[in-house]
Amino acid sequence: MKMSQKVREWLMLLQLFDQTTHEDRLEIDWEIERRTGIYCDDAIRRRLISEQEFREIVATILNRKKRKRKEVILETETYVI
């Protein structure tokens, strides 16, 4: 699936692109579309998402990924009693 060009541009402009994976960027696209009800590039062009809201979306996605990673680590650890 192709990701939004505007999301890519904003991530690069805000120096967040290297902190995200392709899957993260797709999730950012979907979250913008969920919040606005329209295609993410159109939402950004129409300024329906502010820079602050965009940063919050990115942070939420990245924090969710960190929590998932911690859960996987906890599930795979073994304890000796």
Please give the model's pTM, rounded to 2 decimal places. 0.77
pLDDT digits (tens, 9 = 90+) for 9-20: 999 999 999 999
Between residues 51 and 69, which one has the greater pLDDT? 51
pLDDT digits (tens, 9 = 90+) for 23-52: 999 999 999 999 999 999 999 999 999 999
> What are the residue boundaries of the structural domains of the chain, listed by start?
5-76
H/E/C letters for each residue in the chain?
Answer: CCCCHHHHHHHHHCCCHHHCCHHHHHHHHHHHHHHHCCCHHHHHHCCCCCHHHHHHHHHHHHHHHHHHHHHHHHHHCCCCC
Q: Which two tokens stand for residue 63?
A: 């924090």
Q: Residue 65 — pLDDT band, cuts 50, 70, 90?
A: confident
